[in-house]
Structure 1
Amino acid sequence: MEREQLRGIIPAIITPFTPEGEVDLKGLEGLTEYLISKGVHGIMCTGGNGEFCHLLKEEKSMVVETIAETIQGKIPVIAGTAACGTKETIILTQEAQEAGAQAAIITPPYYFRLPDDSLYEHYKTVVSNVNIPVIVYNNPLYTGNDLTPLVIQRLAEVKGIIGLKQSNPDLGQLVEIIRLAGNKIAILTGIDSQFYPSLCVGAKGIFSTAACIVPSQMVELYQAFEEESYENAFKIHTKLQSLNRFLEYEPGYVSPCKEALKMLGLAGGPVRLPLPSIDSRQKKQIGQVLKELGLLPKEGQ
């Protein structure tokens, strides 16, 4: 995968489970086909929205392989291969490549707070021991380690690092990263509610939870922006915000995403413990949002 391919709408796909809690590979295949048909530009799997930390090692490889076999090279497969330690991250990245991934997306190690030099060495060591490009994933809320603009500037000089998924909600940090490293790597946001503003300051696209549910609308937003139809792009963005709030902070993104997919007749299934399921009130609210977006028929129709 080349840096120039890292752009546009890249859904952070869920890992569907059966009612018994096993990985639903047939459902995953169907969801992948659905996303391809809507014109997305890549698929990210085994990330946070894919419940990577609740998957066994063998299951991660199964997920990557199923998606890669379904896509057949039409768009890139980007596999999350994060782990607490550098050695395990290398192994997971190698296994993702064997399963068919064209790139790996990697958060900083989590649990231990690490100094900047250790974070830099982690990525540099991983990249030097794998044969697919790496996308850095800055998500300090979940990892406890924030990659500063200066660290990302250093990482952008490392051969084999082609991009960044920026999920720090500080938009000013995104602007600074684009200033320092935007000519070296592709920089995408990971925050649906900041997609339009991120494009305005120079981001190349988004790794998106919402794009699992509304891929057509997300692609339409991106294309409108690329065609300089900024008013139309902003209109789509604000319309989708009613969905984004459920995925980002009311109550959190995995359960609402899976519930929305199930309502649309797509594979979802339960989340794995200890993640909470959503309650009946939240289900009703999500259903109402899908109706407002025209994805479900309104009462009386």
Structure 2
Amino acid sequence: MNVAVTWQGIYPALLTPFTAEDTLDLDLFETNLRAQIDAGVRGLIIGGSLGETSTLTRPEKLQLLERALQVCDGQVPVIVNIAEQATRDAIAAAQEAEANGADGLMLLPPMRYFADSRETVEFFRSVAESTKLPIMLYNNPVDYKIHITVPMFQELAQIPNIEAVKESTRDLTNVIRMRNAFGDRFKIMGGVDTQILESAVLGVDGIVGGLVDAFPAETVALYEWAQQGKIKEAFELYQWFMPLLELDIHPKLVQNIKLAAVATGIGSEYVRAPRLPLVGEERAHVQGIIDRAMANRPSLAVPA
């Protein structure tokens, strides 16, 4: 039976751990999953950009889904990312995820082809109508060049299982724009690590995070303190966290965050080619950011 997806709280966009032999490291994947659940995340997203989705095979994605469902055991929903070039492939991936027990989907616009507004809406409509699963659209024109605008959402609002948006435009006023246009019709999930506190203050329903893969407790605390009005405590934690969070808004975010997860004992540095682990001055720079953060890692105890 599917777990209800509320699109609230912290949803990590999970890393995909590999072995030195370039196979899935499912045991390490489970270690990270358990750390996320123990920290209080409210959902899990597998096979996203941070999960190196473009290099994963369909069978590997199903292996990750199977292990995630086993570990979660109904505690939190498991969301599968859909990032395909052809509409028919996206439909097939969505139906395959549903048949194998996924609780929901994160759906990206068409990959590679720069679809116009009409084509993008039809792509989303076709995939949504092929499945009963709840869907969160990923609005990230910075990286994927397609902006899902308010007029496009007005068309998509007629499709009931399109329930949420991962808001990664990096324009925080878009949160207010969406609320003004739709009220609570769409759940809004902040999607940029360096805007977590601002997004929470603006009233997003949750956060899809990256550095949460290495620092789950800190990410959950930051969002929840902001929600609870503990702004002073949240701001101080945010100041400490910011150099790490900036590792997420970088072309090598996968390597960066995997290196951070090594430091906290819940990840490995192995990536899948053509990605390569960081080396030389680049690695030293990122490791320095991580080391400084670890040396000053704050207590999460907050006065009542």
Q: Are 1:16 and 1:24, in contact at CA under 8 Å, matched by a contact in 2?
A: yes
Q: Equivalent residue of 1:100, what SS? A: coil
Amino acid across the alignment from 2:274: P
**Partners of 1:103 and 1:295 in 2: how far apart?**
38
Q: Which moved more, 1:149-158 or 1:82-91?
A: 149-158
Equivalence for 1:17: 18
Q: Per-residue CA shift, 1:219-245, capped at 9, x if unaligned?
A: 111221221112222222222111011
Q: Are 1:8 and 1:204, in contact at CA under 8 Å, matched by a contact in 2?
A: yes
**Partners of 1:182 and 1:21 in 2: how far apart?**
46
Q: Which moved more, 1:51-60 or 1:153-162?
A: 153-162
Per the TM alignment, residue 173 of structure 1 is displaced from its structure 2 partner at its CA by 2.6
The TM-score, its normalising length taken from structure 1, stands at 0.92
**Partners of 2:96 and 2:183 in 1: how far apart?**
30
Equivalence for 1:187: 188
Equivalence for 2:118: 117
Amino acid across the alignment from 2:288: Q
Q: Which moved more, 1:286-295 or 1:24-33?
A: 286-295
**Partners of 1:111 and 1:82 in 2: how far apart?**
10
Q: Are 1:78 and 1:103, in contact at CA under 8 Å, matched by a contact in 2?
A: yes
Q: Percent of aligned positions with the same letter in both sequences?
A: 26
Alignment of 1:225-264 (within 5 A): 225-249=226-250, 252-264=252-264
**Partners of 1:26 and 1:295 in 2: how far apart?**
28
Q: Are 1:14 and 1:268, in contact at CA under 8 Å, matched by a contact in 2?
A: no
Equivalence for 2:93: 92
Per the TM alignment, residue 125 of structure 1 is displaced from its structure 2 partner at its CA by 1.2
Which structure 1 residue ranges, 5 or more long, are not aligned? none
Q: Are 1:263 and 1:287, in contact at CA under 8 Å, matched by a contact in 2?
A: no
**Partners of 1:194 and 1:90 in 2: how far apart?**
32
Per the TM alignment, residue 255 of structure 1 is displaced from its structure 2 partner at its CA by 0.4
Q: Are 1:178 and 1:202, in contact at CA under 8 Å, matched by a contact in 2?
A: no
Q: Which moved more, 1:72-81 or 1:89-98?
A: 89-98
Q: Per-residue CA shift, 1:103-143, capped at 9, x if unaligned?
A: 00011002112221211111111111112111111122332
Q: How many residues align?
A: 295
**Partners of 1:293 and 1:53 in 2: how far apart?**
31
Instruction: Return closer, same or farther for 1:199/1:156 CA change in 2, 3 Å cut-off.
Output: farther
Does structure 1 residue 265 correspond to structure 2 residue 273? no
Equivalence for 2:63: 62
Q: Equivalent residue of 2:79, what SS? A: strand
Which structure 2 residue ranges, 5 or more long, are not aligned? 298-304
